[in-house]
Amino acid sequence: MKHRLTILLYALSIMVICLLLSEKSYFVPILIGVTALFVIIVSSGVLFLKLNYFLTSVNRLDSREVLLTFDDGPHPTRTPKILDILAKHNCKAIFFVVGKHAEEYPDIVLRIKQEGHLIGNHSYAHNNFMSMYSTKRLREEILHGQRALSKISGIETSLFRPPIGYTNPKYAKVLKELKLTNVGWTVRSYDSVYKDPQKLKKRILAKTKPGSILLFHDNLEVTVEALEEIIVALSTNGTKFVNGDTIKTVIHA
């Protein structure tokens, strides 16, 4: 809806500018300026999922609990360590699983399910250029991920998170067709950037508020190293994490 409105306003602006200002010396600069603004708005919509520009995403919880989410797994050694930490502290999470990795490590996917966590679709191959796919290819990629997860776990997940968080009108169309809920985040940990566990911990403690959805990656060592300290520190500050009783109700799919 936001994108359609932006296109309409841009088209109307160009029409008015051409009708009223075509003979003016500043016609071209204004035309360029309006077009540049349009490009900036659309580009921001692609890059920043939390803007809900092309489609509505779940970017925070309606409750005061905090939800942990993990992308890009399963990883053969790091995901099990993360599962151990979550079990120790009675925290439940959503694992946004890459289909081809799930096929490599089906036992870990089954463990995620058996321990009461939710499983979401993170595409089949996690191509960073998925946002450039045609609608048909995008649909096939997401469906491939759905089928891989369903075959392994028996779960028909309704949760999806796009690789690197980029969206566009094609995503909106395909996710609506497949009845998938797009799940974003409130706090991006940037664990793919931070190499020091203490710096990662400091960022999370500073950013996390009640209702936050935290984005981590379960294929990164720094996440394994920092996660338990993050959970303990937040818990000490009074943060309540989503547990086994509420994990299936926090995302209203």
Which residues are part of the catalytic machinery?
71, 217
139: its two tokens: 């649909």
**Peptide bond preceding 169 in cis form (omega within 30 of 0):** no
| Other CB atoms within 10 Å distance of the CB of residue 169 | 17
Q: Is 118 helix (H, G, I), strand (E, B) or coil?
A: strand
DSSP character at residue 174: H
H helices within 1-60, ranges in order?
A: 2-21, 27-47
Which residue type is seen at 142?
A: I
Q: How far apart are CA 188 and CA 178, in angstroms?
A: 26
Rounded Cα distance between 83 and 156, Å, is 22
Going through the chain in order, the beta strands assigned E by DSSP cover 67-71, 93-97, 118-121, 159-160, 181-182, 187-188, 213-217
SS (H, E, C) 140-168: HHHHHHHHHHHHHHCCCCCEECCHHHCCC
C-alpha span between 240 and 45 (Å, rounded): 32
